[in-house]
Amino acid sequence: MADSSFSRRGVFGGAAVLGAALTGNAQAQAAPLHWDRETDVIVVGSGAAGLPAAIAARQSGARVILVEAEKDIGGHAICSGGNIPLGGGTSAQKKYGIEDSADLVFRDLTDWSVVEPNGAADYRYNDREIIRAFADNSAATFEWLVAQGVMFADKAPDNAAATSTGNSAPREMHPMNGTWPMVQTGKPAVQPTSISGNGLMRPLEAAARKADVEILLEHRMIALHQNPRTKRVEGIAVHSPKGVTNIRARKAVILATGGSTGNVNFRRIFDVRLTEEYCGLAGMPWSNQDASGELAAMEIGASLWGTYNQTGEFGEHLSKPGYIGCQYGYWHLQWMPGSRVFDKARASGLHVTDWQDVILVNMLGKRFYDETGGYYTSNSYHAVENYLPNDYRNAKNVKYNPINFLNAAMAGIGDGKNGGGPIWAVFDADAVAREKWNPAPPNVDIAEGFFFSADTIPDLARKIQMQHQRVAMPPENLGATIARYNGFVDSGIDEDFGRPKPQHKIATPPFYAAWATPVIHDTRAGLRINADCQVMNTSGQVIAGLYCGGESAGGFSLHGLARCVAQGRIAGLRAAAETSI
């Protein structure tokens, strides 16, 4: 059956639905009396799970409509570093003599004995069923990406930026940017052979359009439609500039909405500390992870799954900012004035090359930890020396290190409220010279209160006022903190937090305070799925007609693109094989 033409007739006009449309909150609704559009498979989201799902379904013969809430495709993936750990015996691994197999991937990603120096376990809580499916599809997914036109750097799979990718073999490959404009700058990369998520998502977009996937931008899902009798998901409602549209899926709906980092109340299910001030999300403002897919599925009984992987203190789901003085300071992603979303980003930020050049203080103007401290580690190739699979000695041989910078930053100020509040990097004119910074717009965000300067320390403290600074910073506190720290520079010993040989006093005006609050990165807990990426309810039963993959799905500790692409492809293949209703 061909897709029916667009019609506004039959749009259900209830206040709840329009309210959902305006707020971006998806929910469940009974099937409408009239469908405005029909297709075989609907994919919600155009990121690293959504585009592979759409392409795979279309290549399997299904008609596909992909809806995307933003003005462009790509999701968080297009903003990423482009690290794709697909192993199991890929052609790239074989070319460079790297031995790997599906069984080895599975063993690595389910090894109960791998423990980080702070006691967190990378793989112990993974869902064996979906890890087996990933392992069995990993190599095939890599070859599939190549067939879709993704160009990978011609070098051996490596361990660059690897997070929970397994200890036994290097698996990460890196797509090259090519000549596509970078979302960060609006211009092509200086070197087309440089790597980023841009080199993954633009070829996939081209492949989707070539395959005749219909892509509807600025179409935000506001409801899943479920048949009240059969309980099968039969379609979605979307809100666009033209209004609300009901789209029927004759085979299935695939949720690839990208996770939940941008939904404050949802992310606090996993960590109550992550209140509103953690607003510098990786991938934003290109796209938001609003938990819309999870919430809509939960409305019809879907279960959350694998929550430890979100709360476990390993990997980069939280990190120190790589850029300070701006809201969006994720470590490798710097927004530049040429970007299409720079009006939302507002500032590029100042890259910190040496944390000895700043001190970090909380809302009260007090230091809380060694500023040079790192953040949570994770296991990947050769991270565990003398590795013995599933052996108690792997944990026994780990040297304990609490790695508590992030916990200290989020500890709060003892006022009985959740959330650590803003963290400010404080420095002086000499630090600006050492770092070669230009502390002025568009490098810093003064207008929205993410950067302040003053000629005296007391005046600097008094200036720090913005929406997330819930208490005024006492000028005497900041003054005492800096005086004490300067004394540590003289003595060479940080008596408070053990910073290695403090090097530079903060003494030369003007003085600066730059937003340096921890950044939330990826989502590693979400909806329960099975090996076929079918969504399951709280009774362990499949919700007919509903699939999910990537960061909206739970049970998998692996960070990044590989699980998204593999699960998206699995979901697309399985959805296309469904019997039409």
pLDDT band at 21 (very low <50, low <70, confident <90, very high): very low
Q: Which residue from 436, 465, 462, 460 is spatially nearest to 450, judged by alpha carbons?
A: 465
The answer on 227 and 367 residing in a single domain is no
For 536: left if phi > 0, alpha if psi spans -120 to 50, otherwise beta; the answer is beta
DSSP string, 133-189: HHHHHHHHHHHHHHHTTPPBPSS--B-TT--S--SSS--EE-BB-TTSBPTTTSSB-
Q: Is residue 148, in this structure, part of any structural domain at all?
A: no
The answer on 445 and 564 residing in a single domain is no
Q: Is residue 13, in this structure, part of any structural domain at all?
A: no
pLDDT band at 14 (very low <50, low <70, confident <90, very high): very low
pLDDT at residue 19 greater than cutoff 60: no
Q: Which residue from 374, 444, 377, 379 is spatially nearest to 409, judged by alpha carbons?
A: 374
Total number of domains in the chain: 2
Which run of H or of E encompasses 41? strand 37-44
The answer on 359 and 241 residing in a single domain is no
Residues 445, 440: Cα–Cα separation, whole Å: 8
For 306: left if phi > 0, alpha if psi spans -120 to 50, otherwise beta; the answer is left
Q: Determine phi and psi for 55, rounding to 5 degrees.
A: -65, -45
Looking at residue 572, its amino acid is: G
CATH number, domain of 455, equals 3.90.700.10
pLDDT band at 27 (very low <50, low <70, confident <90, very high): low
pLDDT in tens, 446-501: 999 999 999 999 999 999 999 999 999 999 999 999 999 999 999 999 999 999 99
Last residue of a domain, one of 515, 533, 566: 515
Q: Which residue from 494, 363, 370, 478 is spatially nearest to 427, judged by alpha carbons?
A: 478
The answer on 338 and 429 residing in a single domain is yes
Residue 28, pLDDT score: 63
**Mean of pLDDT over the chain:** 93
pLDDT band at 186 (very low <50, low <70, confident <90, very high): very high
The answer on 346 and 477 residing in a single domain is yes
Residue 136 CA, distance from chain mean position: 25
Report helix, strand and coil shares of the chain as percent, to nearest 5: 25, 20, 55
**Burial class of residue 531 in the structure, from the number of CB atoms within 10 Å of its CB (0-12 exposed, 13-18 middle, 19+ buried):** middle
Residue 180 CA, distance from chain mean position: 22
Residues 222, 292: Cα–Cα separation, whole Å: 8
Residue 24, pLDDT score: 44
pLDDT at residue 145 greater than cutoff 70: yes
Q: Kindly report which listed range (27-31, 72-76, 543-547) carries the lowest average pLDDT score.
A: 27-31
The answer on 555 and 541 residing in a single domain is yes
Residue 560, pLDDT score: 83
Q: Is residue 533, in this structure, part of any structural domain at all?
A: yes
Domain that holds residue 441: 321-373+424-515
Residue 162, pLDDT score: 87
Q: Is residue 395, in this structure, part of any structural domain at all?
A: no
Q: Which residue from 158, 171, 177, 4 is spatially nearest to 81, judged by alpha carbons?
A: 177
Mean pLDDT value of segment 534-541: 98
Q: Which residue has the tokens 């979901």?
A: 571
CB 183 within 8 A of CB 200: no
Q: Is residue 119, in this structure, part of any structural domain at all?
A: no
Mean pLDDT value of segment 230-243: 97
Last residue of a domain, one of 478, 495, 515: 515
pLDDT in tens, 265-281: 999 999 999 999 999 99
Looking at residue 539, its amino acid is: S
241, two tokens: 């500039």
Looking at residue 141, its amino acid is: T
CB 148 within 8 A of CB 207: yes
The answer on 222 and 352 residing in a single domain is no
User: 424-428 and 511-515 as β-strands: parallel, antiparallel, unpaired?
Assistant: antiparallel
Q: Which residue from 218, 214, 220, 216 is spatially nearest to 27, judged by alpha carbons?
A: 220
User: 37-44 and 243-255 as β-strands: parallel, antiparallel, unpaired?
Assistant: parallel
The answer on 429 and 533 residing in a single domain is no
pLDDT at residue 62 greater than cutoff 70: yes
* Percent of the chain residues past pLDDT 90, beyond the cut: 91
Torsion sign, CA atoms 58, 64, 69, 71: positive
CB 305 within 8 A of CB 98: no
The answer on 361 and 305 residing in a single domain is no
Last residue of a domain, one of 515, 541, 561: 515
| Cross-strand bridge partners of residue 44 | 67, 255
CATH number, domain of 261, equals 3.50.50.60
Q: Determine phi and psi for 254, rounding to 5 degrees.
A: -115, 120
Q: Is residue 101, in this structure, part of any structural domain at all?
A: no
pLDDT in tens, 204-224: 999 999 999 999 999 999 999
The answer on 306 and 447 residing in a single domain is no
Angle among Cα 92, 98, 102 to the nearest 5 degrees reads 85
Q: Is residue 142, in this structure, part of any structural domain at all?
A: no
User: 220-226 and 27-30 as β-strands: parallel, antiparallel, unpaired?
Assistant: parallel
**Burial class of residue 177 in the structure, from the number of CB atoms within 10 Å of its CB (0-12 exposed, 13-18 middle, 19+ buried):** buried
pLDDT at residue 17 greater than cutoff 60: no
| Cross-strand bridge partners of residue 225 | 29, 235
The answer on 364 and 308 residing in a single domain is no
Residues 25, 190: Cα–Cα separation, whole Å: 39
The answer on 492 and 460 residing in a single domain is yes
Q: Which residue from 145, 286, 140 is spatially nearest to 203, judged by alpha carbons?
A: 145
Q: Is residue 479, in this structure, part of any structural domain at all?
A: yes
